[in-house]
A = this chain, B = another copy of it.
Amino acid sequence: MNNRGMRISARADYAVRAALELAAAGSEASLKAEAIAAAQGIPHKFLEGILGDLRRGGLVVSRRGGQGGYRLARAAESIAIADVIRVADGPLVSVRGVRPPELSYCGPAESLLPLWIAVRANVRKVLGEVTLAHVAAAKLPDEILSLAEDPEAWTNP
């Protein structure tokens, strides 16, 4: 037995947290990488690389020099958590490295493909609907809250 499962990597987690810090700062103010790193307890050189990805992905804009730093490229209401994860870490869900639609199964495993598709659809339902603004304001949509409030969702196995 291994200890992986479907994992959200440190990269993805850090990327979302950094983006949340930017969302909370508002779209005028810009934050320096070092400040974000300190606020969220992220290794700052590692974070710099992640912020570079967010910039190349068009989610963030940067300025260097004295009053430089990073800020969101668009409104926090228009950036889904899924957008951040995809830009920092690649496709949301993959099976054996490839995305579900490219898979092919045979025999009794044939219905596995629609199953993985359903998993991905359900992940998207959460991460594609919830925006940085939602999380930063601690106001998750009702659908999501009702998922998270179910006590059974917090039990471990």
Contacts and interface: CB of A to CB of B under 8 A. Distances in A.
Interface of A: 1-13, 16-17, 20-21, 23-24, 39-40, 53, 56-57, 81, 85-97, 99, 101, 105-112, 114-127, 130, 134-136, 138-140, 144-145, 147-150, 153-154, 156-157
Given A1-B57, A2-B88, A8-B93, 11 more contacts: A1-B88, A4-B89, A6-B123, A8-B116, A20-B112, A115-B127, A118-B126, A118-B145, A120-B153, A122-B126, A122-B147
A89 B2 CA distance: 5
Nearest to A20: B108
B121 A5 contact: no
Nearest to A95: B8
Given A122-B123, A123-B119, A135-B115, A154 B6 contact: no
Contacts of A138: 110-111
A140 B139 CA distance: 34
Contact of A144 (B53, B87, B118): B118
Contacts of A92: 5-6
A109 B10 contact: no
29 contacts: A1-B53, A2-B11, A2-B88, A5-B86, A6-B92, A6-B94, A7-B93, A8-B93, A20-B108, A23-B108, A24-B107, A24-B108, A81-B115, A101-B154, A111-B134, A111-B140, A112-B135, A115-B127, A115-B130, A115-B135, A117-B148, A118-B145, A118-B147, A119-B123, A119-B126, A119-B127, A120-B153, A121-B153, A122-B126
